[in-house]
Amino acid sequence: MRSPPAAATPFDERLFAVMRLVDPAVGTLEPYEFRYCLENVAPPEGWESVRLESMREIEERIRSRGFFSGIRAGSRSAGRVPLDPAISALTRTLLAGLATGGYPVEWVDAHFYFDVRGFFFLPRTVYFTEPVLRHFGGKPYRTFEQGQKRLASSLEVGYAEFREANREIDGFFIESILKLVSAKGTPILFTIAGPTAAGKTEIGGRLREALARAGRKASSIEMDNFLMDNGHREALRIDSMGKEAFHFSMFLSDLDALLAGRTVTIPRYENGVSSHTPDGVLKSDGRPIVVEPADIIFIEGNFPFQIGEVAHRIGIKVVYLTDDPVRLKRKWRRDIDLRKKYDVDYFRNRYFRTQFLRASDCYQAQMEACDVVVDTTGAALWATAETIGLLEGRS
């Protein structure tokens, strides 16, 4: 697909005008600021050298697992890491196509979102697949005003404004969990999964506060504490996501003990080392963790209800979801501005690579198996028919 002939208006001016339609945050920039950003992604041979692919070719690429798994993040701390060439090429192609009219704004918006801080395009991830929609009867249980729309012009997002944007949906979610705990009875295992920077930790803390106000005792058991020594896993080439990486039988027996109202002593995992040997014996210098029984026991860990032996023990399974563009803005603020955790291009490479892969490997499957999905971006709470019955006192 050849590039359309260039118009008389300079490339950067044409692109600036159309990019304000693509992403409201671009409108916060002055033209000269936009040019600064554009210089960082400009092809060495000039924008006229960019070949526009067909929209079908591009759509096929961003639906391919191989495209994302081929992205190389680099090292997060070894100095300057280049943006992966595949990401650079995609961004240049879309920018050139928008500036020349080769790609409609509507098509770009349907398949991509633009991040101003990173000044790159990322494919939109599909979380609500057909199986997920069927699992929840095709529509959300309750919807609210989409407060995250107020974040559209932000270059990065702090938790205070994120929390305010989600005030209504979060309040309803907490109220719903309190109802479910009462309806299902205690003790009960609870887990909340979801992508990075979706707000799981914060909403979990607020839920604990609400439970305490309601006179409910809460405790937690963290799956990562059951990991075996990192050296042991590496020596045996054990996948760190698999059950073989954990003191798995101990984990199951401790869950059962907590459900029976008994105190348990669990392993502690710190800096790649477990307090227990691979066969489950406490090391001489090991410091185990005591977990008290409670009304609601939080299982901390991102994938517990993808494990069959664990899933059926969990009384309330939740996926807490925030769409990728907003999570990326949260991560700019949290991980780059405040934590200063990553090299910027490592950060961009890693985020681009992992969203598609994690959605297909983890979150879509979890959404097909959970009781509740909290979609904070859509301001909607999705619940299974059985869960709705409990919330409305019909079961």
For residue 82, what pLDDT is reported? Answer: 85
CA distances from 122 to 136, 297, 325, 348, 394 (A): 28, 37, 9, 10, 43
Provide the H-helix boundaries in the chain: 11-22, 31-41, 55-62, 65-69, 85-100, 105-111, 130-135, 159-165, 167-184, 200-213, 230-235, 248-259, 308-311, 324-331, 344-358, 364-369, 385-391
pLDDT at 237: 83
Specify the pLDDT at position 89. Answer: 97
CA atoms within 13 A on the CB side of 385: 5
Higher pLDDT, 77 or 84: 84
- Provide the percentage of residues in the chain whose pLDDT is more than 90: 87
Q: What is the mean pLDDT of residues 70-74?
A: 88
| pLDDT-based confidence at residue 74 (cuts at 50, 70, 90) | confident
What is residue 30's predicted lDDT score, i.e. its pLDDT?
97
H or E element in which residue 300 lies: strand 296-300
Model-level pTM? 0.91
The tally of CA atoms less than 13 A away on the side-chain side of residue 213 is 9
State the maximum Cα–Cα separation within the chain, in Å, rounded to a whole number. Answer: 77
**What are 326-383's pLDDT values in tens digits?**
999 999 999 999 999 888 999 999 999 999 999 999 999 999 999 999 999 999 999 9
Alpha carbons within 13 A on the beta-carbon side of 246? 19
Instruction: List, for residues 114-138, the tens digit of each pLDDT value.
Output: 999 999 999 999 999 999 999 999 9
pLDDT of res. 373: 98
Taken in order of first residue, the domains within the chain and their CATH numbers are 11-123 (no CATH), 130-217+294-391 (3.40.50)
* 157-to-124, 152, 160, 297 alpha-carbon distances in Å: 19, 10, 8, 31
Give per-residue pLDDT as tens, 355-368: 999 999 999 999 99
Q: Which residue is associated with the tokens 């080769």?
A: 102
Q: What value does the mean pLDDT take over residues 278-285?
A: 94
Range with lowest mean pLDDT among 91-100, 139-148, 240-249: 240-249
Query: In 3D, which of 366, 355, 368 has the Cα closest to residue 65?
Result: 355
Residues in Cβ contact with 202 at an 8 Å cutoff, skipping those fewer than 6 apart? 159, 163
